[in-house]
Amino acid sequence: MRINIILLAVVISFFCDAAEAGNTVEQWRIFEQSFRHKTNGNPFDDVTVKATFINGPDTVRVKGFYDGHDIFKVRFMPNKSGLWKYRIAFDGIDCREKTGSLKCVPARAGNHGPVRADSIGFAYADGARYIPVGTTCYAWAHQPDELKRLTVETLGKSCFNKLRMCVFPKSYDWNHNEPELYPFEGEAGHWDFSRPNPEYFRNIEQCISSLDSLGIEADIIVYHPYDRWGFSSIGLSDRDRYMQYLISRLGAWKNVWWSMANEYDFMNAYTDEDWKYHLRFFAKNDPYGHLRSIHNGVKLYDHNDPNITHVSIQASDTGNGGNLRSAYGKPVIYDECRYEGNIPWVWGTMSAEEMVQKFWTGFMSGGFVGHGEVLLTDNSVAPDKSDEVLWWSKGGILRGKSHGPIRFLKEILEKSPEGAKPVKGITGWQDYPTLGCDNKWFLIYTGRDIHCQMMLELPEDHDYEITLIDTWNMQIIPVEGLFRGRSIVPIRESPYMAIMAIAIPD
Quote the CA–CA distance of 300 and 330 in Å, as a whole number.
Answer: 15
| DSSP code at position 371 | B
What's the pLDDT score for residue 103? 98
Phi, psi of 439, rounded to the nearest 5 degrees: 60, 20
Dist. CA 392–CA 138, nearest whole Å: 6
User: With contact defined as beta carbons under 8 Å apart, do 318 and 365 qualify?
Assistant: yes
Residues 6+ apart with CB under 8 A from 85: 53, 54, 55, 99, 100, 101
What is the separation, in whole angstroms, between the first and last Cα of the chain?
Answer: 77
Q: Which residues of the chain have pLDDT under 50?
A: 1-21
Q: Minimal CA–CA distance to 494: which of 455, 446, 456, 457?
A: 446
| Dist CA 95 CA 103 (whole Å) | 25
192: buried, middle or exposed (CB in 10 Å: 19+, 13-18, 0-12)? middle
Does residue 392 contact residue 346 with C-beta atoms inside 8 Å?
Answer: no
Residue type, 50: K
pLDDT given for residue 381 in this prediction: 66
Dihedral sign from CA coordinates of 439, 442, 448, 451: positive
- Residue 4: predicted pLDDT: 40
Helix or strand (DSSP H, E) at 360? helix 352-364
pLDDT in tens, 183-224: 999 998 899 999 999 999 999 999 999 999 999 999 999 999
Q: For residue 502, which of 459, 460, 466 has the smallest C-alpha distance?
A: 466
The CA–CA distances, whole Å, from 30 to 33, 67, 341, 392, 405 equal 10, 16, 39, 30, 36
Res 96: pLDDT: 87
Q: Which residues pair with 73 in a beta bridge?
A: 34, 65
Which of these, 81, 47, 79, 80, lies nearest to 63 by C-alpha position?
47
Nearest Cα neighbor of 325 from 345, 343, 344, 303 is 303
pLDDT at 382: 64
> What sign does the CA torsion over 150, 152, 156, 158 have?
positive
pLDDT for the residue numbered 16 = 34
Q: How far apart are CA 23 and CA 31, in angstroms?
A: 8
The neighbouring-strand residues paired with 486 are: 457
- Looking at the DSSP bridge assignments, the partners of residue 33 are 74
Contact 332/293 with Cβ under 8 angstroms?
no
Return the HEC string of 409-461: HHHHHHHCCCCCEECCCCCHHHCCCEEEECCCEEEEECCCCCCCEEEEECCCC
Q: Which residues contact 12 (CB under 8 A, 6 or more apart)?
A: none
Query: Residue 74 pairs with which residues in a beta bridge?
Result: 33
The residue type at 499:
I
What are the Cα distances from residue 382, in Å, to 133, 140, 291, 374?
32, 22, 38, 14
Q: How far is CA 74 from CA 25, 32, 53, 62, 64, in A?
A: 14, 6, 11, 8, 4
CA distance 219 to 163: 6
Ordered by where they begin, the domains of the chain are: 25-105 (2.60.40.10), 115-413 (3.20.20.80), 421-503 (2.60.40.3950)
Looking at the DSSP assignment, which residues form a beta bridge with residue 336?
314
Which pLDDT score, from 0 to 100, does residue 13 have?
A: 34
Amino acid 21: pLDDT? 41
**Whole-model pTM?**
0.94
Query: Which tens digits make up the pLDDT trace of 426-468?
Result: 998 888 999 999 999 999 999 999 989 999 999 999 999 999 9
Give the Cα separation of 234 and 261 in Å (integer): 14
- Give the number of other Cβ atoms within 10 Å of residue 477's Cβ: 12
Task: Please give the distance of CA 319 from its chain centroid, rounded to a whole number.
Answer: 22
What is the per-residue pLDDT for 203?
98
The neighbour count for residue 263, using CB atoms within 10 Å, is 19
HSE-CB at 251 with a 13 A cutoff on CA atoms is 29
In degrees rounded to 5, what are phi and psi of residue 236? -60, -50
- pLDDT single digits (tens) 305-346: 999 999 999 999 999 999 999 999 999 999 999 999 999 999
Cβ(325)–Cβ(310) below 8 Å: no
Residue 60: CB atoms within 10 A of its CB come to 17
